Amino acid sequence: MYRKHVSGLLLAMLLLLAACGTSGAPPTVGGVPAPSAAASGGASPAASASPTEVVPPAKGDKSAISVWAQANNVETARAENIDSAAQQLGFKAEAIADPTGWGDYKKKFLLAADSGQAPDIILSGHEDIAPWGQAGYIIPLDDLINANQETFKNIIPELWKSVEWNGKRWGIPQDTEARPLWYNKQKLADLGWSQQEIDSLPDRIKSGEFTLDDMIATAKQAVEKGVVKEGHGYWHRPTKGSDFYQYYFAYGGALDDGSGKLLFDKAAAEKWFAFQRRVVEEGITPKNFIGTESKIWHETVTSGEVLFFNGGVWNFADWAKNYTKDKGGEEYLYGFVGWALQPSGEKGKPGVTLSHPLVYMVTSEKASGEQQQQDAFKAVTAATTPELNNKHALGSAHLAILTTQLDTPDYKANKILQGTAYMLEYTRFLPNNADFGTYDDIVFRAMSAAENGEMSPAEAVSMVADELQTELGDKVVIK
């Protein structure tokens, strides 16, 4: 129905264009001096009115399996693995690793899918399953997964949860990660902690003995004793992102009400917002902290100036390669960096972490304009091996997705991946809900306002509740 409206509008315009084509006035339009204009079929708008002149989309060979992966220059295995798997199978493949940024990448995919020119396989965050599944751009994979149990029985069971939506599985996990609380062992020793106390910290966090309150107290002590500078006791993530929900979880919050609706737990959120404010008031986090340049954040924590800091396990590879290479890279980092779960907010409750698996999704015929979903899935299956996934995991410090991968010698030899593997047992995921983006935007702004002291935690919480109500209505449960 919608198309009709657009077409009607365009019809009038095409008449205009046709008129302008016959007038011979715009030779410059027809002869657009673009190199590939001819190849891509876009001559003049007048010409394009007749469908015979239209050349198929420049997506390469029809039979090639195409994949897009959002990946920066050290994560290219996300695309390359499909490429090499497809070649092993004798398929032609066309892989694109796109590091541009999530927002632009997803928008580009959306337009490609709407016009039937999407790649056969798309790698994205698991949260896209809901909107893309709803739109019919991707297909459910249960039958195909069941038919390939040899491979898929080895996926770490916890990860399947992230690809479930509407009672079906819509993606194959490609990687995952934990978001540890990093701590500076050297600074803890300076503070007077014994070696035994330092070494047992991860376990004490896991058991709920050491909580966020204890972390604040320790950091405050370190500032007071001059072990670290004012504001350098605790640095959380400096920019928008899913990490912050770990504190919401730490205070007993949940994002999903169990029936598939989003949940906002006011009591847990108020404790969480109060925590964000407290770290500033106690002087362990700088004021005006959210928005700090990532590069400066990394420079500072890797130079050993901060006691506790929270990031992702992948940071480790980044730090070794890009920030501390001149000081000795991994060896230097192992010298003072320790890792643990995020402490719980309540005594006796285990620590938490959050994983955000990226998943391969297979696009529908509607989205890709092709009927090679079976072959595309074969390529994904062939790429889901310990060898290929290790290339990604070890190269970019992401956690394994296969149980068989955990036992490979290479993986075992990697101290940081080995040391954080247990965290997957304590991990939580973001909900697969099409409205989570809207939810997150509101929560993040209010949370930053609470941290900056613009409004009290209670005010921020009621602000969120009001806005969620306006924006999402009965699609969100406010408790």
Partner 1 sequence: MAESTVHPPSKALVAQPTLSHRLRASATALLFLLPAAALVITFFIVPVIITLYISMTDMSTSTFSDPNFIGLQNYSRMFRSGAMGKIVRNTVFYVGTTLALFNVGMALVIALLTTHIPRRSGAFFRALWLLPRITPSVVYIMIWKYLAADAPFGVFNQVLQPLGIAPENWVLAAPWTMVILVNGFIGASFGMIIFTSAIESIPESYLHASRVDGATALQTIRYVILPLLRWPLLFVMTYQTLSLMTSFEQILLLTDGGPGYYTTETWALQAYHRALSNYFGNVNFGLGAALAAVLVLIGVILAIVYLRVFRFGELVQEPKIETL
Partner 2 sequence: MIEERFRARNILPYLLLLLLTSPLLVGYLWLIIATFSRRTFGLQPDSLTLANWQFLWNFDTWQGSIWAVTLNTLLLAAGLAIVVVALSSLAGYALSRLDFIGRRAFMSLTLVLHAFPSVTLLIAIYFVLRELRLYNTIAGVILVKVALEMPLGMWLMKGFFDNVPWDIERAAMVDGASRLRIWWQIVLPLIRPGIAALAIFSFISGWNEFLIPYTFILSRQRATLAVYLQQLVGDSRFVDYGQVAAIGLFQMLPVLLFFLFTQRYLLNIYAGGVKGGA
Could you say which DSSP state residue 242 is in? G
Neighbours of 51 (CB within 10 A): 6
Between 227 and 430, name the residue whose CB sits nearer to partner 2: 430
Q: Is 103 in the site for partner 1 (CB under 8 A)?
A: yes
* Contact of residue 131 among partner 1, partner 2, none (CB under 5-8 Å per partner type): partner 1
C-alpha closest to that of 180 among 295, 69, 72, 319: 319
User: In this chain, which of 1, 12, 36, 226 binds partner 2, going by CB under 8 A?
Assistant: 36
Nearest CB to partner 1, comparing residues 27 and 90: 27
Binder of residue 54, out of partner 2, partner 1, none (CB less than 5 to 8 A by kind) = partner 2
Indicate which of partner 1, partner 2, none lies near residue 19 (CB less than 5 to 8 Å, by partner kind): partner 1
394 close to 410: Cβ distance less than 8 angstroms: yes
Q: Which stretch binds partner 2 (CB under 8 A): 38-46, 133-141, 365-373, 404-412?
A: 38-46
Are residues 436 and 430 in contact, defined by beta-carbon separation less than 8 angstroms? Answer: yes
Helix (H, G, I), strand (E, B) or coil at 468: helix
If phi over 0 gives left and psi between -120 and 50 gives alpha, with beta otherwise, what is residue 309?
beta
Q: Tell me the closest approach of the beta carbon of residue 147 to partner 2, in angstroms.
A: 31
Q: Distances from the Cα of 402 to the Cαs of 2, 236, 299, 385, 408, in angstroms? A: 44, 30, 33, 8, 10
Q: Which of 223, 417, 435, 476 binds partner 1 (CB under 8 A)?
A: 435
Per CB under 8 A, contacts with partner 2 among 89-128 are 96-102, 104-105, 107-108, 111-112, 114-115, 117
C-beta of 91 vs 323, nearer to partner 1? 323
* 108 interface partner picked from partner 2, partner 1, none, CB below 5 to 8 A per type: partner 2
Shortest Å, Cβ 315 to partner 2: 8
Rg, C-alpha atoms of the chain: 26
- Least Cα distance to 83 among 101, 99, 98, 68 occurs for 68
Question: 315 or 408: whose CB is closer to partner 2?
Answer: 315
Give the list of residues 6+ apart from residue 308 with CB closer than 8 angstroms, or none: 181, 182, 183, 184, 215, 218, 219, 233, 234, 235
Cα separation of 378 and 465, whole Å?
45
Could you count the other beta carbons within 10 Å of the beta carbon of residue 90? 6
Show contacts with partner 1 in window 195-254 (CB under 8 A).
Answer: 240-241
Q: Which stretch binds partner 1 (CB under 8 A): 187-195, 334-342, 376-384, 458-466?
A: 458-466
Name which of partner 2, partner 1, none residue 246 binds, using a CB cut-off of 5 to 8 Å depending on partner kind: none
Residue 200 interacting entry, from partner 2, partner 1, none, C-beta within 5 to 8 Å by type:
none
Instruction: In whole angstroms, give the CA distance from residue 430 to residue 170.
Output: 16
Residue 458 tokens, joined: 């209670």
Task: Tell me the CA distances in angstroms from 208 to 201, 345, 378, one per residue in order.
Answer: 10, 9, 44
Distances (CA, A) of 86 to 37, 74, 170: 31, 21, 20
Tokens of residue 79, six digits: 């695309």
Residues binding partner 2: number (CB under 8 A): 57
Collapsing DSSP to helix, strand or coil, 139 comes out as coil
Q: Which residues contact 165 (CB under 8 A, 6 or more apart)?
A: 129, 130, 133, 432
Cβ closer to partner 1: 189 or 463? 463
- Binding mask 285-324 toward partner 2 (x if CB under 8 A, else -) reads ---------xx---x--------------xx--x--xx--
- Residue among 43, 74, 89, 110 that touches partner 1 (CB under 8 A): 110
| Cα–Cα separations (whole angstroms), residue 84 to 58, 119, 170, 302, 379 | 22, 16, 23, 35, 9
In whole angstroms, the minimum distance from the beta carbon of 305 to partner 1 comes to 11
DSSP string, 277-298: HHHHHTTSS-SS-TT--HHHHH
Stretch that binds partner 1, among 47-55, 175-183, 269-277, 450-458 (CB under 8 A): 450-458
161 sits near partner 2 (criterion: CB under 8 A): no
Chain-centroid distance, C-alpha 412: 25
Residue 182 near partner 2 by CB under 8 A: no
Residues in contact with partner 2 by the rule CB under 8 A: 6-7, 10, 25-26, 28-29, 32-37, 40-45, 48-49, 51, 54, 57-60, 70, 72-74, 76, 96-102, 104-105, 107-108, 111-112, 114-115, 117, 294-295, 299, 314-315, 318, 321-322, 326
Residues in contact with partner 1 by the rule CB under 8 A: 2, 5-6, 9-10, 13, 16-17, 19-20, 23, 25-26, 28-29, 45, 102-104, 106-107, 110, 114, 124-125, 127-128, 130-132, 134-136, 240-241, 286, 288-293, 296, 299, 366, 430, 434-438, 440-441, 445-446, 448-449, 451-452, 454-455, 460, 463, 466-467, 470-471
